[in-house]
Amino acid sequence: MNKGENRSTRQSGDRRSGRIAVAGRMLAGAALVFTAGAAHAAVPDESQFVLNTFSFLIWGALVMWMCAGFTMLESGSVRTKNASVICLKNIGLYSIAGLAYYAIGYNLMYVDVSGWIGTFTLFYGPSTDELALLSGQEEAKAAVVENGYSVMSDWFFQMVFVATAASIVSGTLAERVKLWSFFAFITVLTAIVYPIVGAWTWGGGWLSEMGFQDFAGSTIVHSTGGWAALAGAIVVGARRGKFRADGSVKSTPPSNVPSVTLGVFILWLGWFGFNGGSQLALGGAADAVAMSNVLVNTNLAAAAGVMAAISVARPFLGRVDLLAGLNGAIAGLVAITAGPDIVDHYWAIIIGAIGGIICTAGIKLMENLKLDDVVGAVPAHLFAGVWGTLAVCIAADGDFMTQLIGVLAIGAFVFAVSLLVWFGLEKSIGVRVSETVEELGQDAAELGIEAFPEFMLMPDQDDIDALRRD
């Protein structure tokens, strides 16, 4: 307040500064009254309701912003001739996730879960009490407040997690999967597959009853997306020329490294909402302290993942690799997501660092297995997600057998169903673009709009070499 008073004295003739100073005093006084009252009484129920609801909405909006991060990361990772399709795929998958989760997904995941699955009823909306309150029936307020948060704020926060899982699939299959085949798969993933996994766990189903722990979704969100992406990579196949006849791997560097880096930073920022919001309450001091610990652990794990991945990049990949470091950040974030509420912060560093190492080794493993993952999503989300879920046993008192059963059951279910869906799409409408489309680029061939029309595309060096040999 002294700072405000000094500024007001120096600029006494400035009416705007005077109003700011007065407002500052009023806010300071209100804060004193609030904190003095808080020292003697708990936060009122209605205030807890407002804070919890606001928390869901703000953290959910931050998680939604992760879709922008995935878009930047993927569009920068592919060749420029496919960047526009990546943009369309990402805004499309977010839209599909919202519609599918509203139409049926949330009900399957949370409404009347019998142990395996919820209800197949369509659509979801505010509670009866909330509708009554909105119509002017004040007597309904008590029942609304008793719920702890607005019904649709919870739906919104849960929905953006679904979109995150779907985004993982997009990056892996970039540059060769058909747009509408991809959208069809995303519809099944977000309407049925992911909600069933959620029903088993967060919805109170059989894995939840066993004591399975996954605070914000290392397995429920990230491994689910990773298993779906892996199944797609197997069915769709590698990009043309990615793996040469002599067994060597063709280097496909990103077209826009700053865009990829910006995308990772956006994801890192969004992850604070992803993990912090999963506290699922902001109604008192304990929630605030717990949420603070979650955000610190999230940041520490990501930082450790970066440095660990860079450190092991040379022995694994033969070079100090920028992309390994960027994926290391994501892997560290994924790994800590199952247990970011731990109190001993050093565990976050250890878990994140191991996640970064696993991801870097996983990138090499995928190449050895001739599985083409454009952005390294499977190592970062699936491999690191499995590690993070098991690491709960070390740092957060999880039961190893329960965690292992959860990892295996979810993995088997998601992978098997995803394979069936991808094979079904392959036999019906096809999943892969033609060689001509792949060579020209999906932007020009499918959309008729290039992301960078002023740029001159250079011919592929392997194609030049082949022409010279002929």
Q: What is the pLDDT of residues 337-391, one digit of tens each?
A: 999 999 899 999 999 999 999 999 999 999 999 999 999 999 999 999 999 999 9
Q: What is the pLDDT of residues 401-415, one digit of tens each?
A: 999 999 999 999 999
For residue 464, the model assigns a pLDDT of: 56
Cβ atoms < 10 Å from Cβ of 395: 22
pLDDT above 70: residue 4: no
What average pLDDT does the structure give for the chain?
87
HEC assignment per residue over the chain: CHHHHHHHHHCCCCHHHHHHHHHHHHHHHHHHHHHHHHCCCCCCHHHHHHHHHHHHHHHHHHHHCHHHHHHHHHHHHCCHHHHHHHHHHHHHHHHHHHHHHHHHHHHHHHCCCCCCCCCCCCCCCCCHHHHHHHCCCHHHHHHHHHCCCCHHHHHHHHHHHHHHHHHHHHHHCCCCECHHHHHHHHHHHHHHHHHHHHHHCCCCCHHHHHCCCCCCCHHHHHHHHHHHHHHHHHHHCCCCCCECCCCCECCCCCCCHHHHHHHHHHHHHHHHHHHHHHHCCCCCHHHHHHHHHHHHHHHHHHHHHHHHHHHHHHHHHCCCCHHHHHHHHHHHHHHHCCCCCCCCHHHHHHHHHHHHHHHHHHHHHHHHCCCCCCCCHHHHHHHHHHHHHHHHHHHCCCCHHHHHHHHHHHHHHHHHHHHHHHHHHHHHCCCECCHHHHHHCHHHHHHCCCCCCCCCCCCCHHHHHHHHHC
- What local confidence, expressed as pLDDT, does residue 469 receive? 62
C-beta separation of 149 from 57 below 8 A: no
Average pLDDT, integer, range 440-448: 86
pLDDT score at 12: 35
Percent with pLDDT over 70 in the chain: 87
Assess whether pLDDT exceeds 60 at residue 37. Answer: no
The predicted model gives 10-35 an average pLDDT of 39
Q: What is the pLDDT of residues 246-259, one digit of tens each?
A: 878 888 888 899 99
Examine the pLDDT at 202 and tell me if it is beyond 60: yes
For residue 199, is pLDDT > 90?
yes
Q: Mean pLDDT: which of 19-23, 28-32, 419-423 is highest? A: 419-423
Confidence check: pLDDT of 186 > 70:
yes
Tell me what pLDDT residue 115 has.
Answer: 86
Confidence of residue 238 (pLDDT cuts 50, 70, 90): very high
Quick one: pLDDT at residue 66? Answer: 96
Check if the beta carbon of residue 104 is closer than 8 Å to that of residue 122: yes
- Give CA–CA dist 436/149, Å, rounded: 53
In whole angstroms, give the CA distance from residue 46 to residue 171. 43
Q: Is residue 28 very low, low, confident or very high in pLDDT (cuts 50, 70, 90)? A: very low
Least confident of 9-18, 263-272, 386-395, 448-457: 9-18
pLDDT reading at 20 higher than 60: no
Q: Which residues pair with 243 in a beta bridge?
A: 249
- Burial (0-12, 13-18, 19+ Cβ within 10 Å), 394: middle
* pLDDT at position 217 over 90: yes
pLDDT number for residue 6: 37
pLDDT bracket for residue 444 (50, 70, 90): confident
Residue 454 has pLDDT above 80, yes or no: no
Interhelix angle 151-172/83-100, nearest 10 degrees:
150
Which among 266, 264, 294 has a CA at the least distance from the CA of 279? 294
Mean pLDDT of 133-149: 90
* 16-20, 209-213, 248-252, 308-312: least confident range: 16-20
Instruction: Report the C-alpha gap between 394 and 385 in whole angstroms.
Output: 15
pLDDT at 168 over 80: yes
pLDDT at position 461, please? 62
Instruction: Reply yes or no on whether the pLDDT at 319 is more than 90.
Output: no
Look at residue 27 and tell me whether its pLDDT is greater than 60: no
pTM comes to 0.85
